[in-house]
Chains A and B, each alone.
Chain A
Amino acid sequence: MKVLRRFVYPYIVWAAVMILVPMLMILIYAFTKEGNSVRNFMFSLDSFKRFFSDPVFGEVLKRSLVIAVLTTFFCILFGYPAAYAMARSRFKIQLVLLTTIPTWINMLVRTYAWRGMLDNKGLLNTFFGLFGVGPFKMLETTFAVVLGMVYNFIPFMILQIYNSLEKIDKSYLEAAADLGANRVQVFLKVTLPLSLPGVISGITLVFLPAVSSFFIPKLLGGGKYVLIGNVIENQFLTAGDWSFGSAISLIMAAVIIISMYITRYIDKKTDPEGGAAL
């Protein structure tokens, strides 16, 4: 074992270079002004001042959070029943595979496909046209963005919940039935609380990418639908203001850490109380 421990060192070096250094650079950029050189740091809080003084950015951040919360909500709403059905099905492996397969294809490509479906002259509107309704404007709406995100991220939610449902020992369900609980009661009092850890980790896996996603709002929301991820992307790729981009990233990170903390707090609260908080 001691010999094996030596193999860890290259990894530590690798992790330091690949993870720590970029993060440090973001930190440095966020707290400095434009025009830095290696020898010449100019400490400044300008980027943060700019973010908080212009109400537009707060608006964008709020919108991003709302979209992410909506996405997470719908992922649970549709993902839980799907996971539950999968866990009780005879074709578990096939269904897990079916859930996973879409993620093998590039997200960008799949999101483009939705454009084709949601367009005014797209697949869905053509279909509605057959019945003489529509066309509905779907592309470049909140609906399209949330739909795109739910579509892209729901497999993570389903698999997390499925895993935690699978882990529940059947004897708990039998014990509940033995103590007089009917099917609905067994679900509400035993299955649901015991699967909450899966829901919590599903939330983490969905909320994080949803809040910082930039290409889904870009593709499905159109140029007008700006989320915080787009602003960051813009600062780096178009505006070339790395300091401001880094500052927004840091603010985002803070928001995420706070929201994760809240989730964990809820998780802890529900665990011993048995879903009493629900």
Chain B
Amino acid sequence: MKKLIQFKNIVKEFDGEIVLKGINLDIYENEFVTLLGPSGCGKTTLLRILGGFLDATQGEVLFDGKDILSVPAYKREINTVFQKYALFPHLNVYDNIAFGLKIKKEPRDIIEQKVMRMLKLVGLEEFGKRRVSEMSGGQQQRVAIARALVNEPKVLLLDEPLGALDLKLRKEMQLELKKIQQEVGITFIFVTHDQEEALTMSDKIVVMRNGEILQTGTPTDIYNEPKNRFVADFIGESNIIDGIMKADRQVIFEDKLFECEDTGFAENEAVEVVIRPEDLDIVPVNAGKLNGTVRSVLFKGVHYETIVETRSGTSITVEMTVSDSKPVCNPAADEEMSANDFYLDVTDIEELTKADIIARADAQAWKTSTEELVSISKVEYEIKAEKGRYPVTFFTQAGTMTTVEMIVDDVNKVDAKNETIYAVNIYKTIDDIKESIALDTDLKTWANAQAWTNDGEDAVAVTDVEYSFDPENIETGKYKITFKTRGYEYKIDTTDKYEEGMRVGLDFTPNDLHIMHKEGGGR
């Protein structure tokens, strides 16, 4: 096959912002190429540069070996199907399609012949006289394709042309576009953010992100051998697990050695292992390579998406003391005030500010009659950097006051192998619990629950909050609250429905494992 278009180091800057960072890409004759990426990745910009609607800041675009960047759009042998079709509203379907031919001053009978052939190709023979506004989205789409193809371009550019169609129509048009491309035998360059669309239609997919090309390859290549985490995540569903490459064809993850088919990695290189949900099988416990518990099951139409947790996350338990203390009343000043006792870490004392204390004690004052908040004007306390209980008193300008205790204790955290979770004991009133609209989130905030990785201290989400009380009918007393991070989870596509909480085994074969270099790591 012959190279038709060559992008050479294309850079595009908008107001000082670089949206294309040196794109190099070859496109061959008769290829269906898809530029795939999230919005803002530069795919449309690249297409518009090729179409002639934007200038490149730097670089060359060769078309049939000739630089075309200086050629105006109307002289390029390229036609475009625009995102919203851009069909001329003042022309009917026939005249829209004939537009390009009339510009070229082709003889009337030739124009008619060509337009009729195009109408036939897109299945709209009867619609020539229709006004564009009378056509449905799918029909407009076909007119736009016909209007571009009738000029017999060497390349057809399609800028997210299926975005406005509903799912069923989109699927139909995908097949139809592919059929049309094979029939007319020219190069299609298709821009989309829909990975499924890309996989269905393309001969070649170009995955882009932040103005760069991440990977170029056939749909199967990109699906089976994604180069990095972003591509794996963007193209289809995947389980991505940290692992270590022991040697060629040997990878360790979840503390076990598995066989795989990948070679060419450094010894003991930290890698990421991709397993597609459809490649994993659920088997009885101990019959597979891993064991786990079914966490959730989602019905997806043709299959169930089953989440199996092989190792639970890190957890920490704190104590919540619930009291029924009521706000302090100061009828003289028409004010009320509330605050609660709170726990502090020894290490926090040094940096403790009044604002911190007010926040942690949840100290508030308000007008009894209007419920308008009143600011706390003074905080009185004495504290030493050692364990113990220290009183703190809050005042308003009008003299309303309340005293609570700060309890200084050791740092309460759980150090697991790879991550740490932290939380403090809390004091709350019955009203606090009952009035909370999002109790899990409030409990996390009150207890300051957080988790982070041990290497790099990246934040880890605290996903689960477990407690045994009934928030609607809570009484005074002490309650245990457990905060948890997510464990190792695998997404599996299954046809059978498994019960949540069931213990199961997971099985896969060596060629189900796809090993990637860690992003940012050496290639």
Measured CB to CB, the residues of A under 8 A from B are 169, 171-172, 174-182, 185, 189-190, 193-194, 271-272, 274-275
**The residue from A174, A182, A193 contacting B86, defined by CB atoms under 8 A apart:** A174
**Which of chain B's residues has its CB closest to A169's CB?**
B86
Q: Are B91 and A178 in contact (CB under 8 A)?
A: no
Q: Are A176 and B99 in contact (CB under 8 A)?
A: yes
**Across-interface contacts of B104 in A (CB, < 8 A):** 180
Q: Are A172 and B74 interface neighbours, CB within 8 A?
A: no
| Chain A positions within 8 Å of B87 at CB level | 175
Give me 21 A-to-B residue pairs in the complex whose CB atoms sit less than 8 angstroms apart, sorted by A's number: A171-B86, A172-B86, A172-B89, A174-B53, A174-B73, A174-B82, A175-B80, A175-B86, A177-B53, A178-B53, A178-B74, A179-B151, A180-B100, A180-B103, A181-B99, A181-B103, A194-B89, A272-B90, A272-B92, A274-B95, A275-B90
Residues of B within 8 A of A189 (CB): 99, 103
19 new A-B contacts at CB < 8 Å, known A177-B53, A178-B78? A171-B84, A171-B86, A172-B89, A174-B51, A174-B53, A175-B80, A175-B88, A176-B88, A176-B99, A177-B52, A178-B80, A178-B148, A180-B100, A181-B74, A181-B99, A182-B74, A272-B90, A274-B90, A275-B90
Cβ of B72 within 8 Å of any chain A Cβ, yes or no, is yes
B400 within 8 A of A: no
Residues in B whose Cβ lies below 8 Å from that of A178: 51-53, 73-74, 78-80, 148
Residues of A within 8 A of B75 (CB): 180
Q: Which of B92, B103, B151: most chain A CB closer than 10 A?
A: B103
Instruction: Collect the chain B residues with CB atoms within 8 Å of residue A181's CB.
Output: 74, 99, 103
Interface residues of B in 96-144 (CB under 8 A from A): 99-100, 103-104, 131
Q: Which of A171, A174, A179, A182 contacts B100 (CB 8 A)?
A: A179
Q: Which of B90, B103, B151 contacts A194 (CB 8 A)?
A: B90
Report yes or no: B79 in contact with A185, Cβ–Cβ below 8 A. no
A241 to B93, alpha carbons, bound, how many Å? 59
For A169, A171, A179, the residue with the greatest tally of chain B CB atoms inside 10 Å of its CB is A179
**Please, how many angstroms separate the alpha-carbon atoms of A275 and B151 in the complex?**
23
In the assembled complex, the Cα of A176 lies from the Cα of B86 at a distance in Å of 9
Which residues of chain A are near B52, meaning CB under 8 Å? 177-178
State whether the Cβ of B276 lies closer than 8 Å to any Cβ in chain A: no
Minimum CB–CB distance for A181 against chain B, Å: 5
Please determine whether A274 and B88 come into contact, CB atoms closer than 8 angstroms: yes
* 7 smallest beta-carbon distances between A and B, as pairs: A179-B100, A171-B86, A175-B86, A177-B73, A274-B90, A193-B90, A180-B103
Indicate whether A171 sits within 8 Å of B88 (C-beta atoms), given known contacts A176-B99, A180-B151: no
Docked Cα-Cα span, A274 to B51, in Å, equals 26
Q: Please measure, in the bound complex, the distance between the C-alpha atom of A271 and the C-alpha atom of B75, giving whole angstroms.
A: 29
The answer to whether A179 touches B86, judged by C-beta atoms less than 8 angstroms apart, is no
Q: Does B147 contact A (CB under 8 A)?
A: yes
Distance from A183 Cβ to chain B, minimum over Cβ atoms (Å)? 8
Chain B nearest CB from A178 CB (Å) reads 5
**Closest B residue by C-beta to A173:** B86
Is the pair B90, A180 in contact by a Cβ cutoff of 8 Å? no
* Cα-based distance from A190 to B74 in the complex (angstroms): 14
C-alpha spacing A269/B84, complex, angstroms: 27
Q: Which of A177, A180, A185, A190 contacts B88 (CB 8 A)?
A: A190
Q: Which residues of A contact B95 (CB under 8 A)?
A: 274
Bound complex: CA A189 to CA B90 (Å) = 10
Chain A residue at minimal CB-CB distance from B87? A175
Please measure, in the bound complex, the distance between the C-alpha atom of A95 and the C-alpha atom of B100, giving whole angstroms: 35
Q: Which of B53-95 contact A (CB under 8 A)?
A: 53, 72-75, 78-80, 82-84, 86-92, 95
- Tell me, in angstroms, the Cα distance from A180 to B99 when the chains sit together: 9
Q: Provide the bound-state CA to CA distance between A211 and B104, in Å.
A: 44
A182 to B80, CA, bound (A): 16
Query: How far is the CB of B44 from the nearest CB of chain A, in Å?
Result: 12
* Interfacial chain A residues near B78, Cβ < 8 Å: 178
**In chain B, residues 411-456, which have Cβ atoms closer than 8 Å to a Cβ of chain A?**
none
Complex Cα distance, B91 from A189, in Å, reads 10
With the chains together, A274 CA to B102 CA distance in Å?
Answer: 13
Selected contact of B82 from candidates A171, A182, A190, CB within 8 Å: A171
Q: A189-B103, A274-B91 are in contact. Are A177 and B86 (CB under 8 A)?
A: no
How near does chain A come to B114, taking the closest CB pair, in angstroms? 13
Bound CA span A185–B74, Å: 10
Q: Is the CB of B82 within 8 A of A180?
A: no
Measured between beta carbons, the chain A residues less than 8 angstroms from B91 are 274
Chain A: minimal CB distance from B43 (Å): 17
A177:B90 contact, CB within 8 angstroms: no
Who on chain B is nearest to A171 by CB? B86
Give complex CA distance A180, B104 in Å: 7
Q: How far is the CA of A194 from the CA of B89 in the complex (A)?
A: 8
A177→B79 CA distance, assembly (Å): 10
Shortest beta-carbon distance from A186 to chain B in Å: 8
In contact, B103 and A179 (Cβ under 8 angstroms):
yes
Q: How close is B506's CB to chain A, nearest CB, in angstroms?
A: 50
Q: B103 to chain A: which residues have CB within 8 Å?
A: 179-181, 185, 189
Q: How far, in whole Å, are A185 and B75 apart by their CA atoms in the complex?
A: 13
Chain B residue numbers with a CB within 8 Å of A182 are 72, 74
Asked if residues A272 and B131 are in contact (CB atoms below 8 Å), the reply is: yes
CB distance from A188 to the nearest CB of B (A): 10
Q: What residues on B are CB-neighbors of A176 within 8 Å? A: 88, 99
Q: Is the CB of A177 within 8 A of B147?
A: no
Question: How far is it, in angstroms, between the C-alpha of A181 and the C-alpha of B100 when the chains are bound?
Answer: 7
Q: How far is the CB of A185 from chain B (nearest CB, A)?
A: 6
Residue of A nearest to B98 (CB): A179
